[in-house]
Amino acid sequence: MAEAIMRVEGLSKKFGPFTALNGIDFEVYRGEVHALLGDNGAGKSTLIKILSGVHKPTSGKIMIEGKEVEFSSPRDASKAGIGTVYQDLALNPLMSVTRNFFMGREISRGPKPFSWLAMDQMAHITHDEMVKIGIDISDPSQAVGTMSGGQRQTLAIARAIHFGARVLILDEPTSALGQKQQMEVLKTMQRVRLRGDIAIIFITHNEVHAKLVADRFTFLALGEVIGRGTRADLVGEDIRHLMAGGVDIGDLQKELEAVRSNRTAAAS
């Protein structure tokens, strides 16, 4: 097996008396999608905030290509090649696609900050980077507000990759989107995966989506890893079982049935 691009060992995070994460180990490889699953409150958000340099871990280490790294700010993490696409995408709806793509990192000539923007060059790069991962926007000068949710997600991903992300962290990219848009995003992820040089960490609580694109799975519950494996290792029922934090929800249908019959009984 090739060397992991990023490896996390014994990562723990305490907020005062509260243990948010406890001894997390996992690793991601180039050209793979690593799904990070868990219910609300499992510690997914804390973990990605540590990986993207927002929080510092209480103990444990993060290694990139075998070298231990320490992030004191999100800027450090992005310099080390970790690109995080948060749920809000950090896009500005009133501004054009190109202006969003290069926001804060404009290509310009002359003394800053009054340097002259190379608008045409930036528009070309934006268009090309978006086409590479599957969306041909008709006009890079259109406002982001006119784009669909899936297109916006793609824009944010293309931007992270263009600015040097080798590990791409996607924070619930498919939630809050319609069915078709979700498929668009999954297709985009697949294209990024096929490039072969980028590792994707896919945070989700949708096991169907995870099964569709992920090569490797890590399940979190109450701040600890409760299961992991490759796609081959896991069968469908395992995934659902682990998603729920190890509790059986197989009898959901029966429980719902029970609620309904109780109500009918009370009514009659």
Partner 1 sequence: MSQTNPVALGRKEADRFNKGGRLRVLLRRAEVGAFFVMVAVVVAIAIASNGVAFNALGLKNNLSIISQFGIIATGACLLMIAGEFDLSIGSMIGFAGMAMAMMLKWGLPFGLGSATPATAFFVTLAMTLALGWLIGFIVVRSRLSSFIVTLAFLFFLRGLTEVCFRLINQSTQISGLPDYKQDSWFAAMFGGQSFGWLYDLWFALGGNLNRSGEQWVTGFDARVVWWLLIAAAAGLLMARTQAGNWIYATGDNRESARANGVPVEKVRISLFMLTAFCSTIFAACQVFDTNTADAAKGNLKELEAVAIAVVGGTLMTGGFGTVLGVVFGAVTFGLVANAVFFIPAIDGSYYRVFVGVVLLTAVFLNESVRKRITGGI
Write out the residues near partner 1 by the rule CB under 8 A: 74-75, 86, 88-95, 99, 102-106, 108, 112-117, 119, 135-139, 142-143, 145-148, 150-151, 184
Nearer to partner 1 by Cβ, of 28 and 137: the residue is 137
Given a contact cutoff of 8 angstroms between Cβ atoms, the answer to whether 89 and 156 are in contact is yes
Nearer to partner 1 by Cβ, of 133 and 239: the residue is 133
The closest alpha carbon to 166, from 131, 132, 191, 201, belongs to 201
**Shortest CB 116 distance to partner 1, Å:** 6
Nearer to partner 1 by Cβ, of 29 and 86: the residue is 86
DSSP secondary structure letters along 243-264: HTTT---TTHHHHHHHHHHHHH
- Distance, CA of 178 to chain centre: 18
**Shortest CB 184 distance to partner 1, Å:** 7
Nearer to partner 1 by Cβ, of 67 and 112: the residue is 112
Tokens matching residue 21: 């994460």
The three-class DSSP label of residue 86 is: coil
**Shortest CB 133 distance to partner 1, Å:** 14
Whole-number Å distance between alpha carbons of 139 and 40: 38
Residue 160 half-sphere exposure, CB side, CA atoms within 13 Å?
A: 31
Nearer to partner 1 by Cβ, of 22 and 154: the residue is 154
**Shortest CB 113 distance to partner 1, Å:** 4
**Shortest CB 108 distance to partner 1, Å:** 5
Tokens matching residue 47: 């973990």
Whole-number Å distance between alpha carbons of 256 and 123: 53
Report the chain's terminal Cα–Cα distance, integer Å: 64
Phi-psi group of 193: left, alpha or beta (phi > 0 → left; psi -120 to 50 → alpha; rest → beta): alpha
**Shortest CB 12 distance to partner 1, Å:** 26
Nearer to partner 1 by Cβ, of 58 and 181: the residue is 181
Whole-number Å distance between alpha carbons of 72 and 93: 30
